[in-house]
A = this chain, B = another copy of it.
Amino acid sequence: MRRSRYYLPTLRETPKEAEIISHRLMLRAGMVRQSTAGIYIWLPLGLRVMDKIADLVRDEQNRAGSHEILMPTIQSADLWRKAGRYDDYGPEMLRIKDRQDRDLLYGPTNEEVITDLFANTVTSYRDLPQLLYHIQWKFRDELRPRFGVMRGREFLMKDNYSFDLTPEASRHSYNKMFVSYLRTFARLGLQAIPMEAETGPIGGNLSHEFIIIASTGESAIWCDKSLLERDVLSLAVNYDNEAEVAEIVRSFTEGYYACTDEKHNPELFAKEVPETRRYQGRGIEVGHIFHFGTKYSEPLGAMVSDANGNRVPVQMGSYGIGVSRLVGAIIEACHDEKGICWPAPVAPFQVSLINVRVGNTACDALAEKTMQALQAAGVEVLYDDRDESAGAKFSEADLLGFPWRWVVSPRNADSGTIEIKRRTEDEAQVVPLEQALALLTNSS
């Protein structure tokens, strides 16, 4: 992609309204713009990141045996009344009347809609277990939306719902999602810690939230350092094996202290965790999972016949990941004083290609050749072909934070070499194009 043709309205000044670093950087890097209070437009650069996060989340959901569907944003209030949550939900629910004066709402979550769908489509235990998810926009009418996409009103969420015959089978579904979340966040380049949590308005008796470490995070956290040193991706998980999945969950939950300020107990922390293994820092919630049994299936009539022909309500859980929130959360976790430092799997482009002297024949030719070579190799490159100063281009590359910066300058263009540097390192090296390609390909 040529920078001169791209729609990338960066900002030189730090916008005053932005209180936290991710919000400031997303505005400055031209990733989002606010349309109205707590509601954002995703510009091309921001959308690329969000799409990559969604695709990666989707991949791990499918790997765990879930099926993707898509529920609508607008729901009927009747289902919520039937489940008993309509009046309880409070002013965060955006309540709507249509032209026929029927009560609708913009879904803040989808337990009612999917339980009703299930009740209308599945009748036998033979069709269980089932894990159904979607990635869809939600709305919560926050009184004071703030922190950019971290606490917006309209936000993109992945929510999965499990349906099982027995509490034990339902626990296995819960465990599958638990492990799938560990894998998802690890693949995103994040350190995520599962912590026991309150169930809140979703309900139920078992819940974990997944917190990622970020020095600028919203919550104070205390945990056992061992939790941060686990290599999740090296586990070859067989999701059909109940015992194996349960063992992974156990290994992350038993015998390890991990709490946010909500549940932190300083005495217990000191007693349970040896001093050398104590971690105290800050974090951001990016996922939350719930088991709530028959809370929705009973009132909404989601029953199946069991092997003996008895009709029983299905056991359910729900499992959320804040997809749009993760864009901000990753920036909170991955930035420095110059800008964003994207983990490669979610970087909008892999390479900032800078032509220091646009108009210089050798520079233009080498930059074009380099762009084409990168594209041919399937590497996403943003080529800064504008007639701007080298300093402005370097600053912007640091701000945008792609994993690599490749510079073509009059000093090295004649020899066909490129100065390449990783975003997170200070040292650059000057190498021929072929070698640069090899270094990049081997690194990812």
A135 CB, min distance to chain B CBs, angstroms: 10
In the complex, are the beta carbons of A69 and B44 less than 8 A apart? yes
- Asked whether any CB of chain B lies closer than 8 Å to the CB of A220, the reply is no
- Asked whether any CB of chain B lies closer than 8 Å to the CB of A301, the reply is no
Q: Which among B94, B99, B120 is the interface contact of A98 at CB below 8 angstroms?
A: B94
- Asked whether any CB of chain B lies closer than 8 Å to the CB of A210, the reply is no
- Asked whether any CB of chain B lies closer than 8 Å to the CB of A35, the reply is yes
In the complex, are the beta carbons of A47 and B72 less than 8 A apart? no
Count identical subunits in the complex.
2
- Asked whether any CB of chain B lies closer than 8 Å to the CB of A86, the reply is no
Please name the residue on chain B nearest to A43 by beta carbon.
B69
In the complex, are the beta carbons of B7 and A132 less than 8 A apart? yes
Q: Which among B5, B35, B68, B78 is the interface contact of A47 at CB below 8 angstroms?
A: B68
A50 CA / B72 CA spacing, docked (Å): 14
In the complex, are the beta carbons of B71 and A141 less than 8 A apart? no
Type the 1/0 row for A2-16, where 1 means its CB is closer than 8 Å to any CB of B. Answer: 000111010000000
A98-B141, A132-B7 are known contacts. Are A116 and B35 too (CB-CB below 8 A)? yes
In the complex, are the beta carbons of B73 and A154 less than 8 A apart? yes
Interface residues in A276-328 (C-beta closer than 8 Å to B): none
For the complex with contacts A6-B67, A72-B154, 19 further pairs of A-B residues with Cβ separation under 8 Å are A7-B67, A33-B121, A35-B71, A35-B117, A36-B78, A40-B72, A41-B70, A41-B72, A41-B117, A42-B70, A47-B68, A50-B70, A72-B137, A73-B73, A92-B99, A96-B96, A98-B141, A99-B141, A137-B137
A-B contact list, 6 entries, CB within 8 Å: A9-B121, A35-B113, A36-B104, A39-B75, A42-B69, A47-B70
